[in-house]
Structure 1
Amino acid sequence: MDSKQHLYLVDGSAYIFRAYHRLPPLTNPEGTPVGAVYGYTTMLWKLADDLNKADGPTHLAVILDAGSHSFRNDIYDDYKANRPPPPEDLVPQFPLIRDATRAFSLPCIEEVGFEADDLIASYAREATRRGWDVTIVSSDKDLMQLVGKCAVGGGCIDMLDTMKNQRIDIPEVIEKFGVPPEKVGDVLALMGDSVDNVPGVFGVGPKTATKLIQDYGDLEAALAAAPSMKKSKLQERLIEQAEQARLSKVLVTLKEDCTLPMALDDFKLDAIPPAPLADFLGRHGFTSLLKRLDGGRGSPDRPTQLNPAKPVTAASGASEGAARQPLPEWPAVDYAAYECVQTVEALERWVSRGLAAHVVAIDTETSALDSMKADLAGISLALGANDACYIPLGHGGSDMFAEKPQQVPLETALALLRPLLESDAVLKVGQNIKYDLNVLARHGIAVAPVDDTMIVSFCLDAGRQIEGIGGGHGMDELSERHLSHKTMSFKDVCGTGKKAIPFGEVPLDRATPYAAEDADVTWRLHGVLKPRLSDEGGTRIYERVDRPLIPVVAQMERHGIKVDREKLAGLSSQFAEAIGTLEGEIYGKVGQEFTIGSPKQLGDILFEKLGYKGGKKGKSGQYSTDQSVLEGLASQGAEVATQVLEWRQLSKLRSTYTEALQAAINPQTGRVHTSYSLVGAQTGRLSSTDPNLQNIPIRTEIGRQIRDCFVAEPGNVLLAADYSQIELRLAAHMADVPSLKEAFEQGEDIHSRTAMEMFGTVDRDTRGRAKTINFAILYGISRWGLAGRLGTEAEEAQAMIDRYFERFPGIQRYIVHTLEQVRERGYSETLFGRKTWFPRIASKNGAERQGSERAAINAPIQGTSADIIKRAMVRMNPALAAAGLGHVRMLLQVHDELVFELPEADVAAASEVIRSVMAGAAEPSVKLDVPLGVEIGSGLSWGAAH
């Protein structure tokens, strides 16, 4: 090891609050809150792993605040006076966090009367005087005053922000404050700090403070120059509040001469004794961390992993109790190992190797996120860990005179890649591979067969929060979670804002590691995640539902749907006119003009000027005016609230649809191409974006008018096939409710049957109430929620819920059984085996727990519904082709509905095939006790097809 000593000082106080806010409430076996303790422990462990590098620490200590009072309170009584007390459930965790630090056998330093920042400053300066380098692990702006300080002939100080994985040195401080670190205290003194209640100079913000110090050099010079400044509010305040600024400078200046509670030499890193750490983890029920320690995976021999880290052999943060297959040992990501393929000979070699490998990870780099418009900049391939390349295809400046790097011509490269990408003998693995399928399909390449690591992750961990890292399925998150590797960011390569450049203009020496890493990481994730499917029961849902759906949805996106631009523009004008009329009526009622879209102004009008009761202010000090508040006022007869709700709906529909859809028309195809996410909804439903076609109001006249703008090409019609009350049918089957099953079997109106069971009579009112109750019960609604929907008292709503359960006892049994299972296993399951995880089902926070319970009741039903329509979509094209209707195009999937485009002469034949496929989509995997009803309509527009 190099003789140079390197001290890392961890700002433990910052870690505590980050840990507290990033995890849900947890308790240990004794019932003590430990959410922050667990998060702190995992963050400390992760820091240890991340510091596995040659210039890592030789010495390390965690510095904490000993209490809320310091010498600064003796100088200024109101210092930090605005800070609220720590959350009630965090207080008992403070001593446990100290125990956690000591369980790692790390020094835990604190000193009464001084803040952690002062101790960090004092230790840092002492260490640099001894010739040591110092890294402060924090993002605290106050500590940036220390950055770049070097002792004569000694060491220097920098910072490490672990949340951004960013080193902070003098250039980063200058970028943030506009001044070097030694002037940061002067800027802070002028601008003050509302969090710590440092007064500063009133009205002076960061920009003004920076400008003053840049112009005058330091705080005293700026104050001395104030009398000669141009007369202004700033001049007055600098003169009047000079002493306040000087006081602020004292408050923000770090004390660098504290008595050191422990000698620097005692911070030396040695091997971690496993017994204290194991005892701590076991005592607080941190079983997943204990398994990592016992299994040796990620268990640090010393906190910084300076000795070579064990290669990744399994998914870090894997599910507790899940079986694991042994995985191959992989080396750390090595950017230098990647190849930039710029010649035909090199590309031929990679294609040959790919054909022999039988599994290749692929990724495309493009000019835009829209796969239907994006230009292809390049393709990356990976055949193993660090065995990856980037093939540039469209690099060079957009200027025709710009020098372009050597690269294989696009058409030549695609011709060489086609046998590999289309070979049935080679599995192509991607992360959100649907995007790549569409990009390459536009170049005439039909990529198959495929695997998708994003969707594999979704089938395994939908809804799951893994070890405090989160539950997303993007590549960056998956890489950190399962490979302990932080990937390069797009903005680091292409920049941000006005300085951003298209990927095709990125120099190849920067583009290659970024692009090849995507393929390399995808290949590794496939090796980690795919074996888990068989271990954890995910193979059925992935192989039979989600995986075969990928090319189907990709094709739907490419088909797109035609919209009538003129009709949209006319509708948009109508909406604008109606919005203007509503505004005039609202202004007339309240007696003044105001910004209706401003929640603050609207709240003041409703609850102060008009005096409506029930107004509640939030933390921001303004009244809530969300939809539920306005609906409550409307039910009390406040006509202005009704008009505001209508104004909001029209404004949203106009901006989201009648205006946005015109802009979304693809100039090449003349159609709108929505993008479907297979992982966007926790229950497995597809979600639609850019534009979102799933939020158009279903049963309103306005919604119909918007759907009328979606039209067929000349000579064709649109056909809409919709499952009828599928969730109620599934509830009847899954809850085993004989009367409901009988009603569906006999084709009865289910809401009328419920009305008869509930109220003993059927009329418009009782049927409407029954319909509301039918759907509300399946969403685990509370008596207050049902009362709000029916306009009754909570006691009456509860009586209805009780009566419903009496008439349909199977529903209550289903709810109780589902919640018991989810609390026991942590997840719900559809009839096809799709798991949805609910990590907060046992939360101490009532709102979180009840929200999870409501979602858990509905997830098996809604998820099964999603699985069924997905199975129908997968089977649809082969069935239509077998019937000689291969030209019928499936365009949209919206909730329980499929939309097709076809010649009018084929409507009858296609309807028969479509109804048969949809009605039988559950079989043979699941035999339902109720028939699946399918309603079909057709017309020249989507609206007319309903």
Structure 2
Amino acid sequence: MDSKQHLYLVDGSAYIFRAYHRLPPLTNPEGTPVGAVYGYTTMLWKLAEDLNKADGPTHLAVILDAGSHSFRNDIYEDYKANRPPPPEDLVPQFPLIRDATRAFSLPCIEEVGFEADDLIASYARAATAQGWDVTIVSSDKDLMQLVGKCGIGGGCVDMLDTMKNQRIDIPEVVEKFGVPPEKVGDVLALMGDAVDNVPGVYGVGPKTATKLIQDYGDLESALAAAPQMKKSKLQERLIEQAEQARLSKVLVTLKEDCTLPMALEDFKLDAVPPEPLGAFLSTHGFTSLLKRLDGGHGSPERATQLNPAKAATAAASPAEGAARQPLPEWPAIDRDAYKCVTTEAELDEWVAKAFAARLVAVDTETSMLDSMRADLAGISLAVGPNDACYIPLGHGGSDMFAEKPVQVSLSAAVSRLKPLLESDAVLKVGQNIKYDLNVLARHGIAVSPIDDTMIVSFCLDAGRQIEGIGGGHGMDELAQRHLGHTTLTFKEICGTGKKAIPFGEVPLDRATQYAAEDADVTWRLHSQLKPRLSYKGGTRIYERVDRPLIPVVAQMERYGVKVDREKLSGLSSQFAEAIGALEKEIFEKVGQEFTIGSPKQLGDILFDKLGYKGGKKGKSGQYSTDQSVLEKLAGEGEVVATKVLEWRQLSKLRSTYTEALQAAINPETGRVHTSYSLVGAQTGRLSSTDPNLQNIPIRTEIGRQIRDCFVAEPGNVLLAADYSQIELRLAAHMADVPSLKEAFAAGEDIHARTAMEMFGTVDRDTRGRAKTINFAILYGISRWGLAGRLGTSSDEAQAMIDRYFERFPGIQRYIHETLESVRTKGYSETLFGRKTWFPRISSKNQAERQGSERAAINAPIQGTSADIIKRAMVRMTPALVEAGLPNVRMLLQVHDELVFELPEGDVAAASPVIRRIMAEAALPAVTLDVPLGIEIGHGASWGAAH
């Protein structure tokens, strides 16, 4: 066994800010903020687990900053001068974070006058001199100067970025900086550091700094060569600011000879004694971690914001408003206060402000709504109320001779914004940030970590309606509802109709008011809405289901799916011929030509000319000819109504799919990129638009023909994985129906089982009726609705409903208890805590009330189903990568189905991974009494995969 010592030095300061921004505001039983403490504790725990599985350390210590003043402030008074004080609710957590470290029985090292980086450098030097290997757990660019250093004893230094699970050695440093680690300090000295207020040389960015060091070898050589360089601004600045560059080199150089507060031998890593850690976790109410510590036998649970009270307890607790933190007195929105950033120096200042603030609201302005084709017109940032800016990047007339305003070049802006937008230390907040993720990803920026005010609002208020405002989650509605502010609209800025102009042609003063206001409003909404998650019970669904899903769905949208244009065109022609034949047949039977798509003309034909019964006129004076009216007439044998229904279906499929899909093919990728909305369905289901891929008929031959047009690239196949009868399975669990649970556990045909229970015999007819009843009752169907579906009288339908409840009393009890709960609380809830509000559940209007009741019955079941498939989606790619299957791409989510594209040779290995992730998606949060069945198929097309 190798006896070589291996020291891990954890950059604890970076962990603290990552933890603070990645978790919501939480408090312990005494009311002290502990969100960052909890996040820090879980991150330290995960690190320990991961290192234990790998080639773990023999010694480990956590290094922290002792304060804001160091010897560098004595050298340069303005060092880190731009950094504001830490957030108010983070200050009391600093000592608790030290307590957390010691609770793990780990050394917690800090020294007044020195930064954590200096202590890390000094310990690294001492350890490698003794022959120890050293791994620095951090992604800090300053610490990359140490990578590859080896001591006289033979030990060497590398880094571990736990966020990316990536080792950083000399090649990775060279890839990032273009120079080896020992030259990183020279590059940093030239480019400066806006966050730490290291001056550098004005106007020298990362690329220029790297090129200078590559060409001249080091900082001093570059400065010495400056007089002989070609006359330019760069030459002038290198000469004029040489001493500033030398000062910067001193500031960025790590001190490797600090006095070591503890001996290396004291860092020896032993098993964690459970007593101090258990006491710490119990004190702060970290019950989930306490259970992990003692195998699930922790102390009794306490109702804290980390462990919310059960529903019965919560109902008796004080009014939710009593726990609400008072909001700060923000100034009114002042559009004239916003800044238009048109130079790189101004942009550097804003990047520094955002780094210092640790939270920045971000919004992009583009040339169109399609994120896969849109040109980037500009980016807005906000770090506080009225403290916002707009960075124009693509403004000016579309004519090549049009005069373009002064603005930062796109390449310069990307190089400066990329470190900020990708930094783990800064939380990026957006309103529908998925769109911005996709726009920026096309420019090589992977934005993370993120929050989304639209999704936060949805997790809090799905279904709520505000008189005069509505219940949507768009920025304009949220600004009115929560801030009492009316935002500028896109139409006000760009105009409408033929006079409309692209955003890139809007004058910069107006563009700044509009764009910066978006970022300012987003910042304010986040400050107001995010804290509500903890005391209104929305944290669990937001943090564990919806927020992690945002980048997953964004990636799916960027992948897109290939469609066969020739097949679509051929199918469209077939539909056109069939539509023409139907029109001819309808006209012959009616005895005249008319516009079938006109509700007025169709109503007059059906009820006046043909004399069909049941025609009803609305307030407009024309007959209703909606789907239900035509289906009723068709059920009565009226041929024209039947033919019109066929005509409508074919016309819709042709316009929505066979024609629209051809137009939607992206000319650059050759694929169709749908857009998924995380707030489009009240129950939490994803919805698909532009184009909508979720309404393709599932069980018809026409629907299969359309799905056949979705194809894989050469060498690949499409794989479809579908939850089998998931809503019925969830109903069996949630309503606690023993016979249904037994049937699912035994793998029986559930509709046949219901037919036997209901009718005493199983044949094609009774099974079909049982299937209709199974699904219809979960949607709260009425006797008349069921009668219409089964073609029976309302009395017969009511008798079937009564018999169903008699055979499955748990279903009736579930419906009754759900409605009572919604009437009392105002909302339904899924097994994972997603709330859907029903403000009209007690409406005096019968139609409104009954509609709300039907939706409320189904919402917990359909919502839980949506939560489960979302959890599967979040876990899927990491599981496939871990299984050695990085080329399996998740493309589509359609109701209960996931569609993947993968090399044909990966199907056998990928299928069990996909099945396992989908089957176990509810765990560990929810343990179901029924298994989740998954059906998997694959083929050259989506249709063939079924």
Shorter-chain TM-score category?
0.5 to 0.7
Shift of 1:389: 0.5
**1:879-890 alignment, distance < 5 Å:** 879-890=879-890
Query: Matched residues in 2 for 1:861 and 1:565: separation?
Result: 38
- Whether the aligned pair in 1 keeps the contact of 2:320 and 2:536 (CA below 8 Å) is no
- Whether the aligned pair in 2 keeps the contact of 1:665 and 1:672 (CA below 8 Å) is yes
Query: Matched residues in 2 for 1:566 and 1:841: separation?
Result: 50
**1:479-878 alignment, distance < 5 Å:** 479-878=479-878
Query: Matched residues in 1 for 2:612 and 2:327: separation?
Result: 65
- Whether the aligned pair in 2 keeps the contact of 1:365 and 1:378 (CA below 8 Å) is yes
Of the structure 1 ranges 330-339 and 680-689, higher mean CA displacement relative to structure 2 is found in 330-339
The match for 1:451 is: 451
Letter in 2 for 1:705: Q
The match for 2:423 is: 423
Query: Matched residues in 1 for 2:865 and 2:887: separation?
Result: 27
Q: 2:872 aligned with 1:895, yes or no?
A: no
Query: Matched residues in 1 for 2:822 and 2:739: separation?
Result: 27
Letter in 1 for 2:588: G
The match for 2:924 is: 924
- Whether the aligned pair in 1 keeps the contact of 2:428 and 2:448 (CA below 8 Å) is yes
Query: Matched residues in 1 for 2:943 and 2:608: separation?
Result: 43
Query: Matched residues in 2 for 1:634 and 1:332: separation?
Result: 60
**1:363-442 alignment, distance < 5 Å:** 363-442=363-442
- SS at the partner of 1:892? strand
- Whether the aligned pair in 2 keeps the contact of 1:553 and 1:676 (CA below 8 Å) is yes
Query: Matched residues in 2 for 1:360 and 1:677: separation?
Result: 23
Shift of 1:491: 1.2
- SS at the partner of 1:353? helix
Query: Matched residues in 2 for 1:402 and 1:468: separation?
Result: 44
Query: Matched residues in 1 for 2:394 and 2:509: separation?
Result: 15
- Whether the aligned pair in 2 keeps the contact of 1:323 and 1:536 (CA below 8 Å) is no
Cα gap change, 1:330/1:321 in structure 2, threshold over 3 Å: closer, same or farther?
closer
Query: Matched residues in 2 for 1:321 and 1:720: separation?
Result: 47
**1:158-197 alignment, distance < 5 Å:** none
* Cα root mean square deviation, aligned: 1.0
Query: Matched residues in 1 for 2:623 and 2:741: separation?
Result: 47
The match for 1:326 is: 326
Q: Deviations over 1:890-935 (max 9, x none)?
A: 0000000000000111111111100000000000000000000000
- Whether the aligned pair in 2 keeps the contact of 1:674 and 1:690 (CA below 8 Å) is yes
**1:125-164 alignment, distance < 5 Å:** none
- SS at the partner of 2:891? strand
Letter in 1 for 2:731: A
Query: Matched residues in 1 for 2:398 and 2:467: separation?
Result: 45
Q: Deviations over 1:535-562 (max 9, x none)?
A: 1000000000000000000000000000
Query: Matched residues in 1 for 2:626 and 2:350: separation?
Result: 57
- SS at the partner of 2:893? strand
Identity value in percent: 86
The match for 1:233 is: none
Cα gap change, 1:927/1:606 in structure 2, threshold over 3 Å: closer, same or farther?
same
**1:249-328 alignment, distance < 5 Å:** 323-328=323-328
- SS at the partner of 1:671? coil
Shift of 1:605: 1.4
- Whether the aligned pair in 2 keeps the contact of 1:322 and 1:536 (CA below 8 Å) is no
Q: Deviations over 1:157-211 (max 9, x none)?
A: xxxxxxxxxxxxxxxxxxxxxxxxxxxxxxxxxxxxxxxxxxxxxxxxxxxxxxx
Query: Matched residues in 1 for 2:637 and 2:464: separation?
Result: 44
Letter in 2 for 1:623: Y
- Whether the aligned pair in 2 keeps the contact of 1:563 and 1:671 (CA below 8 Å) is yes
Q: Deviations over 1:553-595 (max 9, x none)?
A: 0000000000000000000000000011111111111111111
Letter in 2 for 1:873: M
Shift of 1:323: 4.0
Shift of 1:629: 1.2
Query: Matched residues in 2 for 1:539 and 1:467: separation?
Result: 27
Query: Matched residues in 2 for 1:467 and 1:624: separation?
Result: 29
- SS at the partner of 1:922? coil
Give 5+ residue unaligned stretches, structure 2: 1-318
- SS at the partner of 2:328? coil
- SS at the partner of 2:377? strand
- Whether the aligned pair in 2 keeps the contact of 1:720 and 1:942 (CA below 8 Å) is yes
Query: Matched residues in 1 for 2:467 and 2:795: separation?
Result: 42
Letter in 1 for 2:504: G
Query: Matched residues in 2 for 1:321 and 1:461: separation?
Result: 16
Displacement over 3 Å in runs of 4+? 319-323
Query: Matched residues in 2 for 1:393 and 1:838: separation?
Result: 44
Of the structure 1 ranges 492-501 and 530-539, higher mean CA displacement relative to structure 2 is found in 492-501
- SS at the partner of 2:898? strand
- SS at the partner of 1:510? helix
Query: Matched residues in 2 for 1:536 and 1:652: separation?
Result: 42
Query: Matched residues in 2 for 1:393 and 1:622: separation?
Result: 53
- Whether the aligned pair in 2 keeps the contact of 1:830 and 1:863 (CA below 8 Å) is yes
Letter in 1 for 2:502: P
Cα gap change, 1:510/1:868 in structure 2, threshold over 3 Å: closer, same or farther?
same
Shift of 1:466: 2.9
Shift of 1:532: 0.1
Query: Matched residues in 2 for 1:496 and 1:590: separation?
Result: 42
Shift of 1:320: 8.0
Shift of 1:602: 1.4
Question: TM-score normalised to the size of structure 1?
Answer: 0.66
Cα gap change, 1:488/1:468 in structure 2, threshold over 3 Å: closer, same or farther?
closer
Letter in 1 for 2:683: T
- Whether the aligned pair in 1 keeps the contact of 2:320 and 2:535 (CA below 8 Å) is no
Q: Deviations over 1:438-460 (max 9, x none)?
A: 00000010000000000000000
**1:71-220 alignment, distance < 5 Å:** none
Shift of 1:467: 4.8
Shift of 1:321: 5.2
Q: Deviations over 1:291-339 (max 9, x none)?
A: xxxxxxxxxxxxxxxxxxxxxxxxxxxx985742122221011112111
Letter in 2 for 1:577: E
Of the structure 1 ranges 494-503 and 563-572, higher mean CA displacement relative to structure 2 is found in 494-503
- SS at the partner of 1:921? coil
Letter in 1 for 2:500: A
Letter in 2 for 1:628: S
Of the structure 1 ranges 474-483 and 328-337, higher mean CA displacement relative to structure 2 is found in 328-337
Letter in 2 for 1:536: K
- Whether the aligned pair in 1 keeps the contact of 2:735 and 2:810 (CA below 8 Å) is yes
Cα gap change, 1:321/1:357 in structure 2, threshold over 3 Å: closer, same or farther?
closer
- SS at the partner of 2:937? strand
- SS at the partner of 1:672? coil
The match for 2:340 is: 340
Letter in 1 for 2:417: L
Query: Matched residues in 1 for 2:667 and 2:442: separation?
Result: 15
Shift of 1:469: 2.5
Query: Matched residues in 2 for 1:489 and 1:410: separation?
Result: 26
- Whether the aligned pair in 2 keeps the contact of 1:751 and 1:774 (CA below 8 Å) is yes
Query: Matched residues in 2 for 1:491 and 1:604: separation?
Result: 39
- Whether the aligned pair in 1 keeps the contact of 2:421 and 2:445 (CA below 8 Å) is yes
Shift of 1:679: 0.3
- SS at the partner of 2:592? coil
Letter in 1 for 2:687: S
- Whether the aligned pair in 2 keeps the contact of 1:716 and 1:902 (CA below 8 Å) is yes
- SS at the partner of 1:604? helix
Shift of 1:772: 0.1
Query: Matched residues in 1 for 2:572 and 2:495: separation?
Result: 37
- SS at the partner of 1:622? coil
